[in-house]
Chains A and B, each alone.
Chain A
């Protein structure tokens, strides 16, 4: 017992451990502390379709990792296409390359960009389908198209992963 106060020695040092020990005991006594919750939590109301887990992996292969493998294969082509797009746009926008087409002067930069963006997107989709069919013989993937969001996310990931040297190598 401490002489300065009427509490045991090291009382405050030991207090946190005592409190945690009591809290841990409460963990084992959910039935007493939360009887309604305990009663309801004994059954699982969530159900899954028949054979869901048995077929999950094969569906994952078709929907997921087959696509990633495909995208890894087209990565260099995609980057090359992106660089080509920038080069074409730069060339078009140079004043000495403007045409005498009376309509051309009226085109805004955004219109030109949109036009070439659409073209590149179209080419990429075809490239993807070609590689899936040729390299992986996964015919079911041929009919699938990636969404714009997926393509955008992979573009980002691909460009981030590439080193400067890899980019220069493609150029």
Chain B
């Protein structure tokens, strides 16, 4: 456990300094968790909601946190679960057809003021969106968050071997999607 996490937990376990500890936790992890969530849900408003829900859940359960797992892997697990829950709630109201879903995502990103609406970046977002949710979590954690397989295995409670296989399969699919669609756009 790093010194900052140890300090956060020390403060949180002292009832008189609980709020100080929780503030330190939020300020230390808000950006990392935000970007992890944002790449899952794409839109700032959704990411903001999910990030708030993540910290509220952390707030409710931090007292029961067992220090046999590391604080940041526990936080990433909550953020990932909250992101997936959010996406699954959205799915109930959306098209079940992947093609239609990706087209809709592209249109919404194009209109989003918090997204650099370059066509190639939309294709990249669609390529990652085409992955199943759990594979997307693995892909983003490994590539964008630069977490080690060991850490991801701890977060998702799975084996390193399964994660490596998932990541490489995902990378192939993403590259293939981009190749097909960039050609289409350029052609």
Give the B-binding residues of A (Cβ under 8 A).
20, 23-24, 26-27, 30, 33-37, 40-41, 43, 45-49, 52-53, 56-57, 59-60, 63-65, 68, 157
Contact B118 A53 (CB under 8 A): no
A33 and B175 contact, Cβ closer than 8 Å, known pairs A45-B125, A47-B114: yes
**Cβ contact of B143, chosen from A33, A41, A43, A68, cutoff 8 A:** A41
Interface size of B in residues (CB-CB distance below 8 Å): 44
Contact B115 A47 (CB under 8 A): yes
Closest Cβ–Cβ distance, residue A41 to chain B (whole Å): 7
Contact B30 A34 (CB under 8 A): no
A57 to B123, CA, bound (A): 33
Contact B44 A56 (CB under 8 A): no
**Cβ contact of A63, chosen from B31, B52, B161, cutoff 8 A:** B52
**Cβ contact of B59, chosen from A41, A43, A59, A64, cutoff 8 A:** A64
A20 to B163, CA, bound (A): 12
Contact B26 A60 (CB under 8 A): yes
Among A27, A45, A53, the one with the most B-chain Cβ atoms within 10 Å of its Cβ is A45
**Main SS of chain B's interface residues?**
helix
Contact B59 A37 (CB under 8 A): no
Closest Cβ–Cβ distance, residue B131 to chain A (whole Å): 12
Closest Cβ–Cβ distance, residue A61 to chain B (whole Å): 9
A97 to B2, CA, bound (A): 66
- Flag whether B179 is at the interface (Cβ < 8 A): yes
What residue of chain A has the Cβ atom nearest to residue B25's Cβ? A57
Contact B175 A45 (CB under 8 A): no
10 contacts between A and B (CB under 8 A): A20-B164, A34-B174, A34-B175, A37-B124, A40-B178, A43-B116, A45-B125, A48-B34, A52-B44, A60-B55
- Flag whether B90 is at the interface (Cβ < 8 A): no
Contact B44 A40 (CB under 8 A): no
A33 to B60, CA, bound (A): 44
Closest Cβ–Cβ distance, residue A70 to chain B (whole Å): 13
Q: Which residues from B are CB-within-8-Å of A24?
A: 164
A48 to B125, CA, bound (A): 17
Contact A33 B114 (CB under 8 A): no
